[in-house]
Amino acid sequence: MKRTIYGEDHEFFRESVRAFVNRELTKDFDQWERSGLMDKSIFRKAGDAGILGVAIPEQFGGGGTPDFRFNAIFLEEVCRARIMSAGLGIQNHADVVIPYFLHYGTPEQQARWLPGLASGELVGAMAMTEPDTGSDLAAISTSAKRDGDHYVINGSKVFISNGINCDIVVVVCRSGSDPAARRSLSLIVVESDRPGFTKGRNLDKLGQHAADTAELFFDNVTVPADHLLGEEGGAFLQLMAMLPQERLSIAVMALAHARTAFDDTLTYCRERHAFGQPIGSFQNSRFQLATMRTELDIAQTFVDAQLAAHFAGELTGEEAAQAKWWCTELNNRVLQTCVQLHGGYGYMEECAVGRAWRDGRVMSIYGGTNEIMKDIIGRRMLGV
């Protein structure tokens, strides 16, 4: 299908991203998948290639354009190269973490941290989820107690992307005792070399092996009070404002991931023979391929509309939630069908579609589960 949201500048950028992906990410990908960790030096290389800080002002070493379509191009390219999990650390750093510094950092905080985030010298992580609570963010218990001109942080986080590679973490903490739990949450920046901060296990996931996902522990970690991002007690609203971009990012990735698996399956259906004919000649295969292609194209028009809306500053929380749940469930359906059409080969590690099936499954869970997405949409519609 013909897409109309990208202009010449975007396609030019795509060429350089594609070259970066082929040059830096594909070579060692299998080794990172085995070790459960992408080499941290890649962040510096991505910074040099202008991929990390597209939205960061030029004075801090970024690209100076708040055009999320450039970020989307990176996601599409790693999925096209069939190495999605090598792109996840960068996606999390650029699409999820940096926006908090851009939108809520004071001029001093921006001058201190944005240059390192743009160059890849600092790798970022965003820590919300805890062992006892994920969806119910207002119930988190990691505490930040004010002590003079410092905060003292205690607690733990789990499932944190870039948790092993990170140098700097935006931590959602409970900093007050306001009876309205949501009004006592704050965002506090913690550097990974602070005494009392430790990285736990690199968690053994079912897929996305090249992306590190870890536990983080805070034992009387002391940070200066000027590590507070935005207003004290304002984290819930800050998260609600920033999460739509994270969800659109996941939707873009889910769709590109499913599209690549579909392309591989179309080729396989032409080449694989059974009963003396290509398996694509069976009516069931044709119907499955037609269904997937139609659903992918229709989803693409919605996602492209949201990318354009985001550029215009009009992306809403509901539409981002719609894009996220629809595209990640579509990805689950498409991958299920693609594996089936590959027969036994589809279940082999050597098969790109088989690996894509296990890598993509979590997208309907992280970034807010799809049940939470539907809850957001339903509540806004009904005003409850």
Ligand X SMILES: Cc1cc2nc3c(=O)[nH]c(=O)nc-3n(C[C@H](O)[C@H](O)[C@H](O)COP(=O)(O)OP(=O)(O)OC[C@H]3O[C@@H](n4cnc5c(N)ncnc54)[C@H](O)[C@@H]3O)c2cc1C
Furthest C-alpha separation in the chain:
79
Report helix, strand or coil for 216. Answer: strand
In the chain, % helix, strand, coil (3-state, to 5) comes to 55, 15, 25
Report the phi/psi class of residue 208: left, alpha or beta, with left for phi > 0 and alpha for psi in -120 to 50: left
d(CA 255, CA 263): 12
**Environment class of residue 39 by beta-carbon count within 10 Å: exposed (0-12), middle (13-18) or buried (19+)?**
middle
- As given in the structure block, the two tokens for residue 184 are 């006592």
Sketch the per residue contact string, 92 through 111, with ligand X: x for CB under 6 A, - otherwise: x-------------------
Cα angle: 223, vertex 227, 230; to 5 degrees? 145
Cα angle: 10, vertex 334, 326; to 5 degrees? 65
Number of residues that bind ligand X (CB under 6 A): 21
Q: How far is the CB of 120 from ligand X (least distance, A)?
A: 18
Question: Which residue, 373, 381, 273, is CA-closest to 326?
Answer: 373
Residues 319-378 interacting with ligand X (rule: CB under 6 A): 362, 365-366, 368-369, 371-372, 375
| Identified binder of ligand X from the candidate list 21, 46, 90, 160, rule CB under 6 A | 160
Q: How far is the CB of 368 from ligand X (least distance, A)?
A: 6
Specify the residue, 110 or 165, whose C-beta has the smaller distance to ligand X.
Answer: 165
Question: Which residue, 171, 169, 174, is CA-closest to 139?
Answer: 174
Q: How many helices (H) and strands (E) does the chain have?
A: 12, 10
Q: Which stretch binds ligand X (CB under 6 A): 110-118, 155-163, 181-189, 336-344?
A: 155-163
Active site residues: 246
By the rule CB under 6 A, 159 interacts with ligand X: yes
Q: Which H helix or E strand runs over 273? A: strand 273-274
Q: Which stretch binds ligand X (CB under 6 A): 3-11, 18-26, 60-68, 124-132?
A: 124-132
Specify the residue, 321 or 372, whose C-beta has the smaller distance to ligand X.
Answer: 372
Question: Which residue, 13, 6, 235, is CA-closest to 103?
Answer: 235
Q: How far is the CB of 43 from ligand X (least distance, A)?
A: 16
Q: How far is the CB of 379 from ligand X (least distance, A)?
A: 10
| Identified binder of ligand X from the candidate list 51, 86, 118, 127, rule CB under 6 A | 127
| Identified binder of ligand X from the candidate list 14, 145, 183, 205, rule CB under 6 A | 205
Count of Cβ atoms closer than 10 Å to residue 110 Cβ = 18
Specify the residue, 54 or 160, whose C-beta has the smaller distance to ligand X.
Answer: 160
Residues 161-190 interacting with ligand X (rule: CB under 6 A): 161
The residue number whose beta carbon is nearest to ligand X equals: 134
Specify the residue, 136 or 147, whose C-beta has the smaller distance to ligand X.
Answer: 136
Specify the residue, 311 or 366, whose C-beta has the smaller distance to ligand X.
Answer: 366
Residues making contact with ligand X (CB under 6 A): 92, 126-129, 134-135, 159-161, 205, 208, 213, 362, 365-366, 368-369, 371-372, 375
